Structure 1
Amino acid sequence: MSSKDEKNLEQVIDKIAKMDEPRRSIMQRVHDVIVAAAPALKPRIWYGMPAYAESASTPALVTLRNDERMNLAITEKAGFRPAGGADAALMPAAWYFETVDADTEKRIAEIVRSVIG
């Protein structure tokens, strides 16, 4: 890991650490899931949010938001796939969550893996 990547990771960890509980623990768990699911993605801060990109100098593909609700989002820089079925013309891009259980972790990992191909 380059020193830039290490600095960016530290900034993401610091951003999460400054969140109030129970969100801090939830966001840390989601961060851990993302890093495990897509170790090639590099954590960084993107528009003030924890985010994950292919490199320190490329746009973020996935972001974590801690607003009124926590969410995992795919940015417009990621390759989108239509949802299919009744939602064929829609492209899912954000998922809100309040807690994270094993099923949610699995789905987050699937979403993140779909972003990197």
Structure 2
Amino acid sequence: MAHEESGGFTEVELAAIRERAAELRAEKGGKKAAAGLEDLLKSIRAMPEDQRAVAERVHVIVSEAAPGLRPKTWYGQPAWTDADGKVVVFFHSSAKYGTRYNSLGFEEAARLDDGVMWPTSYAVTGPLGPAEQEQIAQLVRRAAGATN
């Protein structure tokens, strides 16, 4: 993603910043969990069909694998938080940022630590098969602190 010649943010980056600011204002205003879910579903509905199908599947996987995580948006994209409101898992649509692939990622609140180095983000280039779905479920359970 190229920056403007001035070295400033691109329009896409500025839009993401504005979305995040609106999310923070809503949270500060006591936004209800149901509104977080509706925002997440709205962000998924706005994606192109192929990415929407992947994001919808990720949402189902996260909801089933770690029912204690709360859905919301983060920079206008689907995310799931722990009880403290910290993002654990997120999904970024490639269309949103003009990138080559969708990303499934984990933030610092995720409990994925494994030695001195471990992956925190995965490229998702197509439909999720059974093996990928199980891998995501295992990662999400682990990230959320589930022991099974």
Does TM-score exceed 0.5, indicating one fold?
A: yes
- Once the two structures are TM-superposed, the CA of residue 73 in structure 1 deviates from its matched residue by 0.5
Alignment partner of 1:66 is 2:98: no
Aligned pairs for 1:45-84 (under 5 A) are 45-55=73-83, 58-67=85-94, 68=99, 69-82=101-114
- Once the two structures are TM-superposed, the CA of residue 81 in structure 1 deviates from its matched residue by 1.3
Q: TM-score when scaled to structure 2?
A: 0.68
Alignment-mate amino acid for residue 52 of structure 2: R
More strand by share: 1
Q: Distance in 2 between matches of 1:22 and 1:92?
A: 25
CA deviation vs aligned residue, 1:27-73 (integer Å, no higher than 9, x gap)? 10111111111111000111222100123x61111110112211110
Structure 1: give runs of 5+ residues left out of the alignment.
83-87
Q: TM-score when scaled to structure 1?
A: 0.85
Match of 2:143 in 1: 115
Give the paired residue count.
109
